[in-house]
């Protein structure tokens, strides 16, 4: 906008905030200070005061959620968290079903940040957010599934209210990685931080198990965990191949109140594979026997039963037996990962850590002499800030998480 238009905008918004005390205007100005704009530069104190005023006027839980973040990260306290206030406001957000408040509340319980450490309650809250967002994600909503899956991975990596298991942790990290890559396509603010955390978790956890391969064997019909979403009806189309091998194409069916059936989130840790699919192909071993009882060439079912002694899977629809398959085991083969083509300019990228923080942040750096262990100056929330370099890489533009114009640059090397 022109400078005259910007000036007029500021005059109008200030008038509605300071004179008219309009709640919506106060909220809008609060977000301007929170994110920082040309007209209202980032100012955490003014953002906090705006949201406190707006919350007192309206009781809007979205303001409580935002205030929780301000206090959790110590935005107005020199980076020192104010956990008592964060817990209070996240509790309000959680009561109103704000997913961000719920998993931040769980973070505080999981690690004892300002509250008594309670890993089991934290795990319960993580699972609640995961389940609700998985359902939305399978229907095409980017939502907060990446954040929830990342935390479920942490549960099994660190043993938070559950027994530690590297492969289960990797299962959830793969889902988090897949979800954040889809969400980044929508240019959500702040996703680079989440993306970096997920990549670090994937890299560390991958080292913990060595069972690799694209093929998974199911000695019982375990693959139906993907298709039977909330006991949904599924169609199983059967094709006979050589030597009595069957190719089974399984597809969840939509319900009458839906425009489309949710997709299946297929996740195979050993194959580094995670993808939303509308249908999957399962194969059987040679000499498989099968029978369809309703005279059709396909089986529509909503539940299964497995007979271990006969190695027979029975398929039911509304408790009626509609088909049987006898096979040594079922086989699912994950698709091979496509290698992304490298394109665009090459950029020097450094990952840095702010003092007292665990998360990494990526910056572009024109000085190629900067190496791991160096200290560089960046523009942080509180102006120029020295930070430690923990990783350095040259990346093609196609490899960058976000469009290049959204990255900040290192100001200079310190010293």
Tell whether the model's pLDDT for residue 414 goes beyond 60. yes
Tell whether the model's pLDDT for residue 188 goes beyond 80. no
Mean pLDDT rounded to a whole number for the chain: 91
* Tens-digit pLDDT profile for residues 346-399: 999 988 887 766 567 889 999 989 989 899 999 866 678 898 998 898 988 887
* Tens-digit pLDDT profile for residues 94-139: 999 999 999 999 999 999 999 999 999 999 999 999 999 999 999 9
Q: What's the longest Cα–Cα distance across the chain?
A: 82
Closest CA to 374 of 358, 392, 359: 392
Distant-in-sequence, close-in-space partners of 111: CB < 8 Å, separation ≥ 6 = 117
* Tens-digit pLDDT profile for residues 290-335: 999 977 789 999 999 999 999 999 999 999 999 999 999 999 999 8
Percentage of the chain lying above the pLDDT 90 cut: 71
* Tens-digit pLDDT profile for residues 37-88: 889 999 999 999 999 999 999 999 999 999 999 999 999 998 899 999 999 9
Q: What is the pLDDT of residue 89?
A: 98
Tell whether the model's pLDDT for residue 186 goes beyond 70. no
Q: What is the pLDDT of residue 384?
A: 83
**What are the extents of the domains in the chain?**
215-333, 346-413
Tell whether the model's pLDDT for residue 193 goes beyond 70. yes
Calculate mean pLDDT across residues 231-238: 93
Q: What is the pLDDT of residue 16?
A: 98
Spell out the SS3 assignment of 203-252.
HHHHCCCCCCCCEEEECCCCCHHHHCHHHCCEEEEEEECHHHCEEEEEEE
Parallel/antiparallel/unpaired status of strands 298-301 and 234-240:
antiparallel
Q: Which residue has the tokens 């007029």?
A: 8
Q: How far apart are the first and last CA of the chain?
A: 39
Calculate mean pLDDT across residues 136-154: 93
Tell whether the model's pLDDT for residue 275 goes beyond 60. yes
For residue 325, the SS3 value is: strand
Calculate mean pLDDT across residues 188-204: 80
Tell whether the model's pLDDT for residue 402 goes beyond 60. yes
């Amino acid at each position: 906008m022109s400078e005259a238009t910007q000036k007029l905008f500021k005059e109008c918004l200030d008038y509605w905030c300071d004179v008219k005390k309009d709640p919506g205007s106060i909220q809008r100005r609060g977000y301007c200070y929170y994110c920082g704009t040309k007209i209202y530069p980032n100012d955490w104190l003014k953002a906090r005061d705006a949201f406190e005023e707006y919350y007192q006027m309206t009781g809007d839980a979205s303001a409580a959620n935002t205030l929780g973040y301000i206090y959790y990260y110590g935005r107005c306290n020199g980076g020192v968290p104010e956990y008592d206030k964060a817990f209070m406001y996240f509790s309000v957000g959680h009561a109103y079903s704000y997913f961000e408040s719920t998993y931040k509340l769980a973070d505080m319980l999981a690690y004892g940040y300002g509250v008594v450490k309670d890993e089991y309650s934290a795990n319960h809250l993580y699972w609640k957010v995961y389940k609700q967002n998985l359902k939305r994600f399978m229907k095409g909503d980017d939502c907060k599934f990446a954040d929830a899956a990342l935390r479920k991975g942490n549960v099994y990596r660190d043993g938070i209210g559950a027994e530690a298991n590297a492969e289960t942790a990797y299962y959830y990290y793969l889902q988090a990685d897949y979800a954040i890559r889809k969400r980044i396509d929508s240019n959500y603010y702040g996703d680079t931080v989440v993306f970096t955390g997920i990549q670090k978790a994937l890299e560390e956890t991958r080292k913990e198990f060595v069972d690799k391969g694209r093929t998974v064997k199911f000695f019982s019909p375990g693959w139906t965990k993907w298709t039977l979403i909330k006991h949904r009806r599924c169609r199983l189309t059967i094709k006979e191949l050589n030597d009595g091998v069957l190719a089974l194409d399984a597809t969840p069916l939509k319900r009458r109140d839906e425009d489309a059936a949710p997709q299946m989130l297929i996740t195979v840790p050993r194959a580094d594979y995670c993808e939303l699919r509308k249908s999957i192909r399962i194969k059987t071993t040679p000499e498989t026997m099968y029978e369809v009882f309703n005279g059709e060439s396909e089986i529509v079912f909503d539940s299964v039963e497995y007979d271990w002694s006969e190695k027979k899977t029975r398929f039911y629809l509304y408790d009626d037996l509609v088909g049987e398959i006898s096979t040594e085991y079922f086989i699912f083969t994950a698709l091979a990962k496509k290698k992304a083509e490298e394109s665009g300019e090459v950029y020097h990228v450094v990952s840095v850590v702010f003092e007292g923080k665990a998360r990494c942040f990526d910056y572009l750096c024109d000085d190629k002499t900067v190496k791991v262990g160096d200290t560089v100056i960046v523009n942080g929330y509180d102006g120029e800030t020295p930070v430690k370099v923990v990783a350095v890489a040259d990346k093609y533009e196609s490899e960058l998480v976000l469009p290049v114009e959204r990255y900040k640059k290192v100001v200079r090397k310190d010293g």
